[in-house]
Amino acid sequence: MGKVYLVGAGPGDPGLMTIKGKTLLENADVVVYDALISAPILAMINPKAEQINVGKRRGRHSKLQSETTQLLIEKAKTNAVVVRLKGGDPFVFGRGGEEMEDIIKAGVSVEVVPGITSGIAAPAYAGIPVTHRGYSSSVTFVTGHEAAGKYRPQINWQAIALGSETIVIYMGIHNLPHIIPQLLQAGLPSTTAIALIRWGTCPQQQELIGTLETIIKQVDEQNFQAPAIAIVGGVVNLNSLLSGCRPNIV
């Protein structure tokens, strides 16, 4: 019986991959990976390892979540090192907790290797610190794409609008026409700054800066597509000053 490692690949830049995660990829027997893993990180995988793409993208799912978990369990029965490679961090909107629960119930050894989540890395590469003493002492991370039949009916966007000075929304670009009116109804000014960051920390990173009043029209006009995250709050205004010092993206 082998062991399953839930490894966070980070947001895309191979330089942000952890040393522990890279070492596991180099020694893996099987790597089961997501759709958004960057090519330089996939190149770290042991060339003798079996590689299985189970990635999910909007409108097309290669495998059900239960099928992916069962695959990991079966591979661990005949392989010493099975890596489940997930974008960002496995436990931040990555279903890592669900997978770990089921793997443990199946009697298989499992370990999590955290990764840098896009919610802090992508804004940083765009010159947007999610906290700043002059702008924000609080930040909320929230998914903009909820699962059906989940533990509660919907996110309380009004409570989030009032409870945090910075809001980072994962996987929410397609739901902005639903989310933004609720933030406005909660009392956020229409002039509140918002940034959308696509392919964060990758060479093709793109940014769209606007306000809650203008951003939906900007998305339509520029056909700005997922994968992207949104950052709402005064920290977005630092983009014009700090973006010139962004890291070099390989």
Q: Do 66 and 183 fall within a single domain?
A: no
Q: Do 108 and 134 fall within a single domain?
A: no
User: How much is the pLDDT for 146?
Assistant: 63
User: How much is the pLDDT for 62?
Assistant: 59
What CATH number is given to the structural domain containing 19? 3.40.1010.10
Q: Do 124 and 239 fall within a single domain?
A: yes
CA angle 243, 239, 175 (to 5 degrees): 120
Is 204 a residue whose pLDDT tops 80?
A: yes
Catalytic residue among 34, 86, 89, 102: 34
* Contact (Cβ atoms closer than 8 angstroms) between residue 248 and residue 196: no
Tell me: the pLDDT tens digits for 46-72? 999 999 999 865 555 557 888 999 999
Q: Residue 240 — very low, low, confident or very high, per pLDDT cuts 50/70/90? A: confident
User: How much is the pLDDT for 25?
Assistant: 98
Give residue 130's domain range: 118-245
Tell me: the pLDDT tens digits for 5-48? 999 999 999 999 999 999 999 999 999 999 889 999 999 999 99
Q: Is 100 a catalytic residue?
A: no
Give the E-state strand segments of 75-129 in sequence order.
81-86, 109-113
What CATH number is given to the structural domain containing 198? 3.30.950.10
Catalytic residue among 3, 20, 22, 56: 56
Q: Is 56 a catalytic residue?
A: yes
Q: For strand 56-57 and strand 60-61, is the pairing parallel, antiparallel, or unpaired?
A: antiparallel
Which residue shows structure tokens 């029209």?
217
Q: Do 132 and 230 fall within a single domain?
A: yes
Reported pTM? 0.90
Q: Is 13 a catalytic residue?
A: no
Catalytic residue among 17, 44, 100, 171: 171
Q: Name the strand (E) or helix (H) holding 180.
A: helix 176-185
Any domain includes 203: yes
Q: Do 126 and 235 fall within a single domain?
A: yes
Q: Do 102 and 47 fall within a single domain?
A: yes
Write down which residue in 86, 113, 140 finishes a domain. 113
User: How much is the pLDDT for 125?
Assistant: 94
User: How much is the pLDDT for 148?
Assistant: 47
Give the E-state strand segments of 54-212 in sequence order.
56-57, 60-61, 81-86, 109-113, 139-143, 166-170, 193-198, 206-211
Any domain includes 170: yes
